[in-house]
Structure 1
Amino acid sequence: MLVNLSIQNFALIDDVSVSFSNGFTTITGETGAGKSILLGGLSMVLGKRADLSSLKNKEQKCVIEAEFDISKYQLYPFFEENDLDYEHTTILRREILPSGKSRAFVNDSPVTLDVMRALGDQLVDVHSQHQTMRLTENDFQMKVLDALSNNNDNISRYTEELDKLKIASSELHKMEDFQTTADKEHDYNSFLLKELEDAKLKEGMQEALEAEYEQLSNVEQIMEQLSTGHQLLSDEQLGIVGRLTDLKRAFQNLSDFGTEYKSLSDRIQSVLIETDDISSELEQLKDGVEANPEQLEVVNGQLQQLYDLQKKHHTDTVSDLIAIREELAKKVDAVANIESNIKEKRKEVEAITKKVDVWANKISAGRKSVIPRLKETLQKNLTSLGMPSASFNIEVSPSKSFKVNGKDDLTFLFSANKGSNYGELKKVASGGELSRIMLTIKSILAVYENLPTMMFDEIDTGVSGEISNRMGEIMQQMSENMQVFSITHLPQVASKGSYQFKVYKEEGPEGTSTHIKQLNMDERVKELAEMLGGKSLSESALAHAKELLQ
């Protein structure tokens, strides 16, 4: 409930702070006194957009604070979800700076306007002419049926399954789209994959083939150089091996004459062994080298295949070709398995659809079951509000598709006069009739839903006498379950409030300003008498005012 409202530097308001209690509160005042300004200030702190024109003094900031007792609203999850400190007494604050910049706070934590608006929607329901038109909207009408049929749990379960269905259906559509596209590319991808698989790609193969190609292409030069090398080493007369053998013999005789000669002799022995080994290896290589044009052609073909594949796939390494081959294999495999995957996903979609249908049917059954009771209550209450011939034709029928709140189409038709044809509310009901219908529906919802604070802005416009008296009684009854405010011009409604506030203007040296104050009993009598008979305050008006308050 709204505990306190503080407004500074807003429109015609300099500084106003007012506290409220539970129950039914009426707000009165002359036309133009600023009742709408007060409501406008509250709307700002509930998330309505603001601009610089909201400031009374353009050089000072506007500050609006609203304090709420939210202990009965089960709002802890909202605070947790938005990373806000939860307090049973919560303060919403809005600041509008002279620069035009606006800031919003919840319990002193800065929040976005969307978060403030979402919280405000759960704290105060401001009923205006615009809000009355919601009565003509199908989703609001459906919400009434759901509240009366206690469909909240069913709708929650339905929504859970519907979300799963949307996800599964989206995945199925993606699979089907992929299949359509993939079928066109499958043959080409398979051809590319076979080319790469036939190449038997391995890491390092290009370097090995290029080395082998160089050897096979230069076999004559290799043989010639090997032969020359072997001859230089092994020639019987001038070969290096033979000369080193003679050198070894010469130094063997010196080995016994000192360690330095022994060391030198050992080094010559090592050189001789290494040189002889090189000679042997050269001979083996020479004997193993031979021209092989067939192998040269094979190697050349393999290299050319590699070069062609690299050119086709815009790369210059075998590693990249292997990665491309693996990616193509995945695509080809995905197409090969897509049909079975689609079948499985379709089964999943069908199974979830059946679950959604089950909950949709439960929701529909609940709605249909409360229609007779809703029609009876509406027609009974509207009779007391001066609409004795009002009647409704309400029907729920299956829809062709799932909606956010079920699988129903709703027909909500109205007739104000006996014998008249039924028609849509927005087409056949006047503004005054819509206001009375909305008040009746809100009074019904107050019994079945934990509605927030209700603020009625001149819902009694266009009615008078006994009808306005009955409207006041309905709001008074609603206040047994919730906090109710009514901004009104009618004394019959104003008198029903447990508390009455008056909005008034005063002219001072610096201009006109709006104020609000709570009226005591004597002030209420005077205010109601003025509403009944004007400023003259006749004895009959005063007596009538006292009678209304009793």
Structure 2
Amino acid sequence: MIERVYIKDFVTFEEVELEFNEVELEFSKGLIVFTGPSGAGKSVLMRGILSIFGYFDVNAALSEAVVDANIDLEKYGIESDEVIIFKQIKKNKNRYFINNQAVSKKTIKEIAANFLDYLSLRQIKEFENENILNVLDKIVRKKDYYVKLNEYKKLFYEYKKLQNKLNGILKEEKEAKEKKEFLKYELEKIESISPKIGEFEELMKIKKDLSKVEKIKEKANEAQKIFDFEHEVYELLEMIEEDSEFFSNTMNELRILIDKANEKASFLENVDIEEVLDRLSELQELIRRFGSIEESLKYYEEKKEELNRLENLSFEKEEIIKKINSLKENLNSLADFITQKRKEAGKKLEEKINYFLKKLYMPSAEIVFKEIELNEYGKDKIEIIINDIDINTISTGEFNRLRVALLASKLEYETNEKSLFLDEIDANLSGEESMSVAEVLKYLSSKYQIFAISHQPQLASKANKHFLVTKKDNKSYVKELNKDERVEEIARIIGGKEKSEKAVEYAKELLKGARG
């Protein structure tokens, strides 16, 4: 619940401070009504309060609201406290704070949605299918129902994932022919080269060696002459009585190396340099495109796997369709159960709505179920019909009374206490109709904290707190009215500036009836 509101330098308001007296410094559940002459700034003030919670752009230099609500602020990265303080400061730009921690406007509104609802004229949010279904689910209130409802939602999530996968396959199938041709071309290109790891480095070494094959042969022939003096070395070692084994081993190793050099030269002479250069050119093309031979082979395996998958799309598609059909069968079975329970709840809700509609001098409404495609909520589309007329085409006065009836009908199923902002909910109504709306709103205020603007005496008389908005010299003011001041204001609403004795007496009667 909102406990206190402070606004400074806001349009025609210099300063606004809304709170109870010194003994009771907070709003509580109850009906809080703002009245005053047309153009005084009631709607401006309402927008100013709502702007603190992100519903409108802020135009005040400073605005602040103290809220008592059970919200897990830590999940938003905000430190929790006994109360939540929303603050907005406007200098060069708007800055928002919760408990003195800077936050975005989006976060402000997201957090405020936990405890605040704003119902503007002709707003149909509460009549949206998802919200009506949510009310019906709360009315059912059975454990086995919620088990099946949760099972349905889990299965529908899987169903949706498979549908998206199937759509992807169907799209791929359309493009598959062209894509398969491209993949085959890519694979054939790499296959035609048939690269091997290390081959490029080996060929580069052969290319380098080819440039010195004559030098190798020449030096090998020169080195061969050393063996002409081998015998003299053995004789010398014998004369000086030294072991000749080391020399023998060295000469044997040298023979092997010279033989290898000659073999290499012989091999290189038989190498086709054009073939080497062509092969290097092919491998360089792969390296230029993929970065390395290893990467080209990795790409080859990936595309081979992709081609294989494309060639087996029809099989994959059939498997997914089987799973989808199986899931759909289970979903329909669960949805039928959910619909049956919702229809039972729908009768209860319809009875409650019509109970309040009768109080509000409105014809009865009918809750109509229509079957639609499976979605995350089931397959129910709910419409509320009055006199065979869709609610979107009824008058504003009728729409507002129907909205009040719906709010009252679902009150006992609401677990969260909320602050509810209503913009001229009793506009365009007769006195009798206005009183009926006021009485139902009074009933709602047992759980909701209701902020309402009114030009009717009936709603003003039912208020737990009555604030008067006035304007003088282009400056707006707001004050809480005491008992006598309320009589004066309600009499003004009844009879205009020239308040007659009858208007005053009627105002007293209304206030007396409200207390009774």
TM-score scaled to structure 1, two decimals?
0.77
2:251 corresponds in structure 1 to 276
Residue correspondence of structure 1 range 308-457 to structure 2 within 5 A: 308=282, 310-311=284-285, 314=288, 318-335=293-310, 341-387=316-362, 390-399=363-372, 401-415=373-387, 422-427=388-393, 429-449=394-414, 450=416, 452-457=418-423
- Per-residue displacement from partner, 1:50-97 (whole Å, max 9, x unpaired)? 26xx35xxxxxx1111111113xxx32xx2332122334212112222
- Per-residue displacement from partner, 1:411-454 (whole Å, max 9, x unpaired)? 43322xxxxxx222222x11111111111111112222235112
Given that 2:14 and 2:475 are in contact with CA atoms closer than 8 Å, whether structure 1 keeps it comes out as yes
In percent, how many aligned pairs have the same letter?
Answer: 26
1:59 corresponds in structure 2 to none
- Per-residue displacement from partner, 1:294-352 (whole Å, max 9, x unpaired)? 9857x986885564455467559644443344334443454466566555544554454
Q: Give the AA of the match of 2:5.
A: L
Q: Which runs of 4+ in 1 moved over 6 A?
A: 197-200, 212-224, 286-295, 299-303
Cα distance change of structure 1 residues 155 and 532 upon mapping to structure 2, 3 Å threshold: farther
Given that 1:45 and 1:66 are in contact with CA atoms closer than 8 Å, whether structure 2 keeps it comes out as yes
CA displacement at 1:9 relative to structure 2: 0.7
2:197 corresponds in structure 1 to 203
1:17 corresponds in structure 2 to 17
Given that 1:193 and 1:325 are in contact with CA atoms closer than 8 Å, whether structure 2 keeps it comes out as yes
Given that 1:5 and 1:18 are in contact with CA atoms closer than 8 Å, whether structure 2 keeps it comes out as yes
2:410 is paired with a residue whose SS is helix
1:495 is paired with a residue whose SS is helix
Unpaired segments of 5 or more residues in structure 2?
20-26
Match of residue 81, structure 2, among 77, 87, 90: 87
2:437 corresponds in structure 1 to 471
2:69 corresponds in structure 1 to 70
Partners in 1 of 2:357 and 2:262 — Cα distance? 118
- Per-residue displacement from partner, 1:369-416 (whole Å, max 9, x unpaired)? 2333333333332233233xx2334321221x233433223343322x
Cα distance change of structure 1 residues 320 and 300 upon mapping to structure 2, 3 Å threshold: farther
Given that 1:136 and 1:426 are in contact with CA atoms closer than 8 Å, whether structure 2 keeps it comes out as no
CA displacement at 1:8 relative to structure 2: 0.8
Cα distance change of structure 1 residues 491 and 247 upon mapping to structure 2, 3 Å threshold: same
CA displacement at 1:192 relative to structure 2: 5.7
1:164 corresponds in structure 2 to 158
Partners in 1 of 2:382 and 2:465 — Cα distance? 40
Cα distance change of structure 1 residues 5 and 213 upon mapping to structure 2, 3 Å threshold: closer
Residue correspondence of structure 1 range 287-326 to structure 2 within 5 A: 296=271, 307-308=281-282, 310-311=284-285, 314=288, 318-326=293-301
Partners in 2 of 1:479 and 1:11 — Cα distance? 30
1:418 corresponds in structure 2 to none
Match of residue 230, structure 2, among 210, 230, 241: 241
1:517 corresponds in structure 2 to 479
After superposition, the CA RMSD in angstroms is 3.9
Aligned residues: 500
Match of residue 47, structure 2, among 24, 28, 40: 40
Structure of higher CA gyration radius: 1
Match of residue 529, structure 1, among 480, 491, 494: 491
Partners in 1 of 2:62 and 2:258 — Cα distance? 103
Partners in 1 of 2:213 and 2:475 — Cα distance? 110
TM-score scaled to structure 2, two decimals?
0.81
- Per-residue displacement from partner, 1:145-182 (whole Å, max 9, x unpaired)? 45544599566654444333333333344455456655
Cα distance change of structure 1 residues 379 and 481 upon mapping to structure 2, 3 Å threshold: same
Cα distance change of structure 1 residues 213 and 295 upon mapping to structure 2, 3 Å threshold: farther
Partners in 2 of 1:458 and 1:312 — Cα distance? 75
Q: Give the AA of the match of 1:9.
A: D
Q: Give the AA of the match of 1:394.
A: I
